[in-house]
Every structure is written in structure tokens, then in C-alpha cells.
Structure 1
Amino acid sequence: MFRRILSYIFPLSLHQRTSTVSGTLSVTLLNGKKLLNSPNTDYSYGRLQQVLRFGLEQIGFSAIKKQKKILILGIAAGSVVETLVKEIAFDGEIHGVEIDPEVIAIGKQFFDLDKVKNLQLFIQDAQEYVKNTSERYDSIIVDIFQDDQMPSFLFAPSFFLQLNTLLNPNGVILFNTIVKNKSQAQRNRDFVQYFQNTYQITVFPKVKQENQLLLLAKQNN
């Protein structure tokens, strides 16, 4: 209790470990809440949870609650799972894919990730999961970062064309991106232009400053 009170005055370090995938990972108590940070950004909870919550609001909490199966690529410590389960009361299946086992270990130790009954975890590269799964989803959340950088495969046409095959009719993809400079802004514009005939795309710029959310609805031609 005393540490929780202190965290409203200054952040308290609870845990730190090094990952070969993500670098230094730190669990911090701030304003009474635990956060997972990488060297240059929020990795789970904190501001990131607010960003993804905004995206889920655009899909519609009531619409999500009616869905049967959701895929999260880049689940990290599970902040979006908390929003889905505790706030939206989603009780369908959640499949979470994360390449970094250290992040999953932190999620279980500090954020009760292993206590979510309708969550199935896959410690696997997202590209491999997408390529090999036979599952179909109502929503797919793409939140893949290496520290504050986005892997280039996310913007290769093949990846999102493959994701399209995993969506049920009327399915949606919530794609979290970072836009810090003109090059990244152009990258996103090129992405939207390329996929405008595959998805109905809505762009939400400057969500919590640097994040740009793309909401992609499957077009059933």
C-alpha cells in the first residue's frame, strides 16, 4: 500500500530484465498502476492501453461483445486483453501471438495474463502464425513493435493480404502504427493507397500524439 501511494509522487521500479528480442524491459508502478516499458516507449498498459482502447471504441464495444473470436498479434503483457475482458466483457475466444517469451513471462508474473480463462497464447512469430493457422476471426488487432520501431514486414503487401483471408465476413483489423516523421507518414499513405480496394480503411491520426490507427474493414466483393 505504501509503495502504491509513493507511485503517485514518483515512478517506482518493480522489475527489470533483458530480452534478446525486445532489449531491456522494465515494470514500473506509476500512479498506482503497473506499466511495462521498453527503452523508448510504453510496451504495455499506460498510454498504449489508451490508444488501443480508442481503436476498440471505433469498432464499437457492443459490436465486439457479440463477436466469437479475436486475434491479437503482438499481445505483449496483455493490456488490450484487459480492456476486452474487464471493460467490454468479451467472453469469446482470444488468441494472443507474441514472439518474445520474456514479455509473456512478465505478463504472467505481474499482469495476471495466465489467469484470463478465454485467452490462448502462442509464443511465435506473427508471420509464421498468420501463414499457418486455419483459424478465422471477427477482429484482428495488429500491435507489433520492436521497442519504438515497426518491422518492415507489416507494410509488405503479402502480410495484410494473408490477414484478409483470416477474417470472417464483416471482419475488421485494427492496425496500430507510429508516425514520427514525414517518411513514416508517407509509408502509411502508401499502405492505405495500396489496400483501398481490399479493405474499407478509416485513418485516425495523432491518437495520443504519435500513434496513427488504421481501421480496416473486410470488403466482401
Structure 2
Amino acid sequence: MKKSLSYLWPLTKSYESHYNGKLEVTWINGRKVLDSQHANYSYGPLQEVLDLGLAEIRADRAAPILLLGLGGGSAIPLLRKKYNYYGKITAVELDASIIEIAKTEFSIEEHQPLEIICADAEDFVNTTSGKFGLIIIDLFLDLRVPEKFFSQLFWQNISRLLRPEGKVLFNAGINSAHEVQIDNLLENAGFDLNFRKKEEVYGSNTLLFAERN
């Protein structure tokens, strides 16, 4: 019934988050989306951006995947249903409220094998010893990516966690946000990765692709 009514007018449910303030899950035009105050977090334009990025990656579909930044989990059905990745997905999300939304509103636990870890992505990559064939980095707080996710140390850890043929997809900024940080990252890369930048994805986002030298 809600899905049918959503074609007539949006139906919204609000949640409070310690890290993200007010979050809204809205039925609109037959599907649910997750939004923060100023940005889409899952299943709307963000999913389209990640879809375009994944379409350009040729990674091992059986290898483990690391997803840094779960949101509502919209990358996961793309990986499973559209691109046929079947390796274990480890999703790391700082915000416990978002994890609960992903589970209850978007049934993300249907997409096994899946492990969801409530942790800071920086701390996780500092300490884990896992190896991954694909790492997706989507770590926005509202409209911005925290500065620490452009640091040399963070990217040294990302490189360390990649398998020899591993690939990285980084949703790095919206419009001109983080232009300086992105340029610094590309100019000072010293962690055995080749980068490629794609700007104005759907008119707004900058994606970085990386793989082993």
C-alpha cells in the first residue's frame, strides 16, 4: 500500500542520529530512499553514482569486498544483483542508527554473506589484517568527506588491504568540495596505487578509481 501511495505523495519517517542529525526514510515514486538534511545517503542519486562507478570496475567477483560507509546499504544490492559479486561483503559504518535503518527499512541482511561492523573506518583499516578484491569508500557526513580519509596514512592502509589485482572505488566529493584534497592525494600518491579521476558524475560527484601498479 505504501509503495502505491508513494506515487501520489511522498511518505516520510524520521530518525535521529548522533553523527548525522535528522535522517529521513521516504517512500517516493515506488521506492524508499534515505536522506540526511542536505544529501541523499542511499537508494536515490547516490546509488546511481555508485552504479556508474561499479560499471567501470572489473574486479574478482568471488573475492572479499570491503565497504567503508554503509548508509542504507544501496551499494550491496547493486553488487549482488546487478554485478553478480558473490564474495563476502564486510561493511563498516560509524553510525549505529544508520546500521539499524539499513537492517529494518532496507532489509540489508538478506544479502549474505555479509558482516556489518559498527566502527570508525579509519580505525578499522588501521587494525584489520584482511585482504580484499574490491574496496568501496563512501564516507560522507552530510555533504562532506572527513579530512582524514584523504590522508597518506589512510591510503597506505587501503593499499595494504588490497589483493594484488584489487580495485578501489572512492566517492570523493560533491561539486568542488575537496578539490584541493583530491589533487593533493593524486599528486603525492606513494602507496603503489594507480589513480584515475572521473568528475561531474551525474553533474555533481567526483569518483576516484585506484588499482595496483
Q: TM bucket by the smaller chain?
A: over 0.9
Matched, 1:99 2:99: no
Tell me the equivalent position of 1:73.
68
Tell me the equivalent position of 1:6.
5
Tell me the equivalent position of 2:143.
148
Higher helix share: 1
Structure 2 counterpart of 1:215, one-letter code: F
Tell me the equivalent position of 2:29.
31
Q: CA deviation at 1:64?
A: 4.3
Runs of 4+ aligned structure 1 residues displaced above 6 Å come to none
Matched, 1:117 2:112: yes
Residues 36-78 of structure 1: CA deviation (Å, up to 9, x unaligned): 0000000111111110111111103xx443x311000001111
Taking every aligned residue pair, what percent have the same amino acid on both sides?
Answer: 33
TM-score by length of 2: 0.95
Structure 2 counterpart of 1:166, one-letter code: L
Q: Distance in 1 between matches of 2:57 and 2:175?
A: 25
Q: In structure 2, the residue corresponding to 1:59 is in which secondary structure? A: coil
Tell me the equivalent position of 1:189.
183
Q: CA deviation at 1:155?
A: 1.0
Compared CA separation, residues 106 and 179, structure 1 to 2 (3 A): closer
Tell me the equivalent position of 1:163.
158
Q: In structure 1, the residue corresponding to 2:25 is in which secondary structure? A: strand
Structure 2 gaps of 5+ residues are none
Q: In structure 1, the residue corresponding to 2:16 is in which secondary structure? A: strand
Structure 1 gaps of 5+ residues are none
Tell me the equivalent position of 2:196.
202
Contact kept? 2:159, 2:191, Cα under 8 Å: no
| RMSD of aligned alpha carbons | 1.5
Matched residues, number: 213
